[in-house]
Chain A
Amino acid sequence: AQTVTQSQPEMSVQEAETVTLSCTYDTSESNYYLFWYKQPPSRQMILVIRQEAYKQQNATENRFSVNFQKAAKSFSLKISDSQLGDTAMYFCAFGSSNTGKLIFGQGTTLQVKP
C-alpha cells in the first residue's frame, strides 16, 4: 500500500524568504503522480504543483518548485519569496496510476510572518 509522510507538522517563514516543505512516500509502482495542494483557512483545496514520476525534470510554477528524488522517494516543495497569502496548510499527495486515487499526507501548516 502507498503511504505519504510529511514530517513537519508546522513551519514558519518570514515574508520574502524561502521555505522548503518535506514529503516522502512509499510505493512499488513505477508510474505515478505527485502533487502539492494548499488549503488556506477558507478550506478550499488548491492545486499548487504537479509532477509526473516518469519526468526527471522538476516541476516549477512561478514561486513554487519541487525537488523530486525518485530513488529516495522524496518530493519537497520550495516556496520562494514567501508572501502572506501563502499562509495555509500544505498537503503532499500521491496519485496511483493503478488505483486511480489520491493518497494524502497529514499536512504541514505554514505560517508566513510579516
Chain B
Amino acid sequence: KAGVTQTPRYLIKTRGQQVTLSCSPISGHRSVSWYQQTPGQGLQFLFEYFSETQRNKGNFPGRFSGRQFSNSRSEMNVSTLELGDSALYLCASSPDRAAYEQYFGPGTRLTVT
C-alpha cells in the first residue's frame, strides 16, 4: 500500500495570507489527524477527522480549520498567517481511532515571512 502523502512539501507564504495543505491517507484508513511541529512547542495536535466529521480538536485558534472528503482525503487551512505559524505540519492516518496507531506523512514545511 502507498503511504500517507502530503502536498505541497514546502511552502513559503507572507504574513496575512492564507494557506491550504492537503493529505491523502493510506488506502482504507478513515481517520486523519493533523499536527504542528515546532522546535519550541514540539508536536501539538490540531484536529482529527473521521468519516468527514471532526472528531477531536486541539487548542489552536479558529484560524486553523480542516475538512475531510468522502474519499478520506483531508485538507487543513490556516487563514491570516502569522510568523508563529511557521512549522512542519504533519498528517497522520489511522484505520479507525487515532489513538490505536497512526502512520505519518512526510509533512509540509510552511515558512511565513
Tell whether A45 pairs with B99 under 8 Å between CB atoms, given A101-B33, A101-B48, A103-B45: no
Report B's interface with A, CB cutoff 8 A. Answer: 31, 33, 35, 42-43, 45, 48, 55-56, 58, 88, 90, 92, 97-107, 109
Inter-chain contact B99/A100, CB cutoff 8 Å: yes
**In the bound complex, do residue A50 and residue B107 qualify as a contact, i.e. CB atoms below 8 Å apart?**
no
7 closest pairs, A vs B, by CB? A95-B99, A45-B104, A104-B43, A100-B97, A100-B99, A101-B56, A106-B42
Q: How far is the CA of A101 from the CA of B54 in the complex (A)?
A: 12
Whether A96 and B99, one on each chain, are in contact in the complex, defined by CB atoms closer than 8 angstroms, is yes
Give every chain B residue within 8 A of A97 (Cβ-Cβ). 97, 99
Docked pose: A2 CA to B100 CA in angstroms: 16
B48, B90, B101: the one contacting A35 at CB < 8 Å is B101
**Binary contact readout A68-82 vs B (1 if CB under 8 angstroms, 0 otherwise):** 000000000000000
Chain B contacts of A100 at CB under 8 A? Answer: 31, 48, 55-56, 97-99
The answer to the question of A44 belonging to the interface, with a C-beta cut-off of 8 Å to chain B, is yes
Interface size grouping (class) on chain A: 20 to 34
B102 lies within 8 A of A102 (CB): yes
Q: Which residues of B contact A104 (CB under 8 A)?
A: 35, 42-43
Answer whether A102 and B55 are a contact pair too, CB < 8 Å, given A33-B100, A45-B104, A95-B99: no
Report whether A47 and B48 are in contact in the complex, using a CB–CB cutoff of 8 Å.
Answer: no
Q: Are A43 and B99 in contact (CB under 8 A)?
A: no
Q: How far is the CA of A97 from the CA of B106 in the complex (A)?
A: 26
Query: Is A91 part of the binding interface, using a Cβ–Cβ cutoff of 8 Å?
Result: yes
Q: Which of A46, A50, A91, A95 has the most CB of B within 10 A?
A: A95
Nearest CB on A from B65, distance (A): 17
**Can you add 8 more A-B contacts, CB < 8 Å, to A44-B105, A97-B97, A102-B102?**
A44-B107, A95-B98, A95-B100, A100-B99, A101-B99, A103-B45, A104-B43, A105-B42
Across the interface, name the chain A residue whose C-beta is closest to B106. A44
Report A-chain residues with C-beta under 8 Å of the C-beta of B101. 33, 35, 47, 50, 95
